[in-house]
A and B are shown apart, each in its own frame.
Chain A
Amino acid sequence: MAEATRMVDIYIMGRHYQVPEGLTILTALEHCGYRLIRGCGCRAGFCGACATVYNFKNDPQLRFDLACQKTIEQDMYLVQIPFFPAATASYNLERLKPTGEQVLALYPELVTCFGCNTCTKTCPQELEVMWYISDALRGDIREVGNKSFDCVMCGLCAARCPQGLAPHNIALLCRRLRGRYLAPRSKHLDDRIAEIEAGKFDAELEELERMDEAGLRRRYAERDIEPA
């Protein structure tokens, strides 16, 4: 006989439930009968919709994670983060300069960061949020992009910042500046676009489109394959 599933005690908005071990916070909510509309997105750790806060019965310290990725533990107290508005600058990327002054002009509250590091401790992706905010203050836009690259934009950092900064939005601005203005140009890409516009491949494509299936299969089987 299969071993009986071990049950875990959890508390959703303070109410006690027992759920089988091995569930995530998200599937534990569903096991308890919740049908989610908000607070659930890709269910795979990429979209940031299920940002969540929890602590434990005898440990008031708040912890943060993505509900779809975090496994439940004994005596967890769960809540879902409701929507809250975070500071978002409005801009036209084409009119911006990739400088620290530009970032400060759009997000002047940057200077109020006093380095409490709550943002870093909050990040479910374990990013060095406070350090990239300090990079932004120094105008090192490349490094903000680098350190913030894996951000899923869940906004937990902004929810916890005592100074009302929205680090995830500041980082997004910096990444866009980096991609648009600071990344080295790709000459081969521009060349190829020009070739396509000049019609360089039209005859060959037309030939392939007119080819019957047997001919296409032959060409496909014969094509040379570049090593991965």
Chain B
Amino acid sequence: MYPPYMEESVRKVEATRQRRLKERLPRLSDEEKTALVQKYHPDFIKQSMRELLLGPNKGERTPNELADLLEGNSRVDPDKIDLGKIDYDVDVLVIGGGGAGASAALLAEENCAKVLLVTKLRLGDANTVGAQAGTQAADRPNDSPAIHYLDTMGGGHFTNIPELVEALVKDGPSAIKWLEQLGVNWDKEADGSMHELSGGGASRRRLHSARDYTGLEEMRVLRDEMKNRRIDYLEFSAAIELVLDDSGQAAGAILVNLETNEVILVRAKTVVLATGGIGRLHIQSYPTTNHYGATADGLVLAYRVGAKLIFIDTMQYHPTGAAHPVQILGQLVTEKVRTLEAQLVNKDGEQFIMPLEPRDVVASAIIRECQEHHNGIETPTGQVGVWLDSPMIDIIRGEGTIARELPAMVRQFRRFNIDIAKEPMLVYPTLHYQNGGVKIDANGATTVPGLFVAGEVSGGVHGRNRLIGNSTLDLFVFGRRAGKAAAQYAKEVKLGALTLDHVQRWQRELEQAGLAKVRPVSPLLLPDYARRMPDYLSDYSKQAVSVGQVKLA
């Protein structure tokens, strides 16, 4: 049920449905896509980014919100940390408890490493569980890794790093098999063949799904497997600085127990960074599909030890975030809805874009339709959006398809008395994914010896725009590769004395650049949504910062 004035628009959507069942909008040409994206995509709003003044990417542009954190002050005073007091001594430290981190931990353990995984929320609280539509892998007879390669490069505007895409597409089928051996339930036909759907920018049906709970199913299994193998993990323990040894190799991390402020020192022969994304920075004030902890911590940690970042000037805005009701504003409406042939239409029920173009193209088209053509629908709370005409799915594919394929979406909208089998959903782009990140090679190795990176925090696999289903694939392909490579590296490396000199150097540079007082502390760790009460505190009271200087706020 929508408010009456919105219901009027829904009637128009219904009225055009029969005609639209046959109406196929053409795909845009290369030039048309480029022009659309450059005019309307949020990445191209000039004042939303600035040049970095310090660090390995000095002179390169990135969103203001991320720039502030990359140039942030350390939470640690190196003089107050006793590097002789080691709390955990391991071969491989994995930072991050999502799909990439868990995969890395499992593979490191299989390769005989002593592993510790640390995460700032619970194991599995990650963007992985929100991934709905599926995981790409080219395993059908009419498909091939080469076609998957071409789709991925095209989606990324041909900027992706070739060797990373090669690893992604070649490891795809074996990653799917690995997950099945661990007990993941893939949607299948009765004869055992995978039930695969297509997606935006893909030229073959290659999305492996578990209803619309794909990421949740993958994470439930990986988490359970980690527990069964008794791999150690610490929850609510956020990494706030990486530790190096005196020859500049990654050698562990400083953590803080978020509930007690206790500081924890981990020494590790090698570190796998798998901290995920950035959505909770709300770039350009966009709402986000991301989980509570997606605050770019890994980028900050890596940057401070000198790792090079790439493609940090491009974010992915998922075309279809919920625009109504306000309770679920910005939450993901899976691309699977369009994969199942729902169309995007404006307030008059007219299509304006081929629904399965790559995400940046579709998002740009929706923004144009609302902001320039003024053909969007405004909600009672002032959000604007277009219709995603879900009832078409059951009309085209038979009654019950929505209930079977999209139980999470049905459930989410049913709470607000909207039956998505009968009525469309109102959508608008929402901040979804960090296309770039820490530069890696095909084994997740970075420019810093001993530091491996996997998953969303890495950059290069997806170029300037990621395709549907390539993110979860990235987690398992590069999580496994990084875990294995880290375990092997740990066997050979000899660590020297631990040091936080890089933090001291960083703070000196910040001071010299006159930035120390104007930049925030970072990593951010968690967003702050608590409404602030009027400030009554005296200056004395504010000076009383606890030991280790790691207070959250």
Contacts and interface: CB of A to CB of B under 8 A. Distances in A.
B352 interface: no
Given A37-B259, A71-B327, A150-B213, A42 B291 contact: yes
A130 to B, nearest CB: 19
A217 to B, nearest CB: 6
29 contacts: A22-B327, A30-B529, A30-B531, A31-B531, A37-B552, A41-B122, A42-B129, A43-B292, A45-B412, A46-B216, A49-B122, A69-B412, A69-B415, A70-B415, A126-B411, A149-B407, A152-B216, A178-B183, A183-B188, A189-B139, A192-B139, A192-B173, A193-B173, A205-B166, A216-B153, A220-B151, A223-B151, A226-B204, A228-B341
Given A189-B173, A208-B162, 7 more contacts: A35-B529, A35-B530, A37-B259, A38-B259, A40-B292, A46-B216, A172-B220
Nearest to A177: B183
A24 interface: yes
Interface stretch (A7-15, A84-92, A131-139): A84-92
B236 interface: yes
A175 B185 CA distance: 7
Interface of A: 22-24, 27, 30-38, 40-47, 49, 69-71, 88, 90-93, 125-126, 145, 149-153, 172, 175-180, 183-193, 196, 201, 204-205, 208-209, 213, 216-217, 219-221, 223-228
Given A47-B124, A149-B185, A183-B192, A205 B289 contact: no
B184 interface: yes
Contacts of B170: 196, 201, 205
Q: Which of B224, B259, B553 has the most CB of A within 10 A?
A: B224
B181 interface: yes
Contacts of B258: 37
Contact of B292 (A42, A70, A190): A42
B144 A188 contact: no
Interface in B371-413: 381, 407-408, 411-412
A209 B145 CA distance: 12
A176 B30 contact: no
Contacts of A69: 327-328, 412, 415
B154 interface: yes
Interface in B12-30: 27, 29-30
B149 interface: yes
Contacts of B247: none
Given A93-B225, A153-B220, A225-B203, A33 B192 contact: no
Contacts of B150: 208, 216, 219-220, 223
Contact of A193 (B174, B225, B227, B529): B174
A119 B166 CA distance: 47
Contacts of A187: 192-193
A192 B339 CA distance: 24
Contact of A180 (B124, B183, B204): B183
Contacts of A30: 529-531
Chain A contact surface mostly: loop
A175 B125 contact: no
Contact of B236 (A23, A33, A37, A93): A37
A11 B372 CA distance: 45
A23 to B, nearest CB: 8
B535 interface: no
Given A90-B228, A201-B170, A223-B203, A189 B185 contact: no
A2 to B, nearest CB: 10
Given A189-B173, A196-B145, A220-B153, A47 B129 contact: yes
A176 B162 contact: no
Contacts, number: 235
A167 to B, nearest CB: 14
B182 interface: yes
Interface of B: 27, 29-30, 121-122, 124-125, 127, 129-130, 138-142, 144-147, 149-151, 153-154, 158, 162-163, 166, 169-170, 173-174, 176-177, 180-186, 188, 190-194, 197-198, 203-205, 210-211, 213, 215-217, 220-221, 224-225, 227-228, 230, 236, 258-259, 289, 291-292, 325-328, 331-332, 339-341, 356, 381, 407-408, 411-412, 415-416, 526, 528-533, 552-553
Contact of B185 (A183, A190, A227): A183
B292 A41 contact: yes
Contacts of A149: 185, 210-211, 213, 217, 407
Top-6 shortest CB links A-B = A176-B183, A184-B192, A35-B530, A179-B185, A220-B154, A228-B198
A71 B552 CA distance: 28
Contacts of B183: 93, 175-180
B529 to A, nearest CB: 4
B70 to A, nearest CB: 24
A218 to B, nearest CB: 10
A120 B220 CA distance: 21
Contacts of A189: 139, 173, 176-177, 194
Given A92-B228, A193-B173, A228-B356, A184 B292 contact: no
B228 A183 contact: no
Nearest to A180: B183
Contact of A179 (B173, B186, B213, B526): B186
Contact of B327 (A24, A40, A93, A204): A24
A205 B129 contact: no
B130 A46 contact: yes
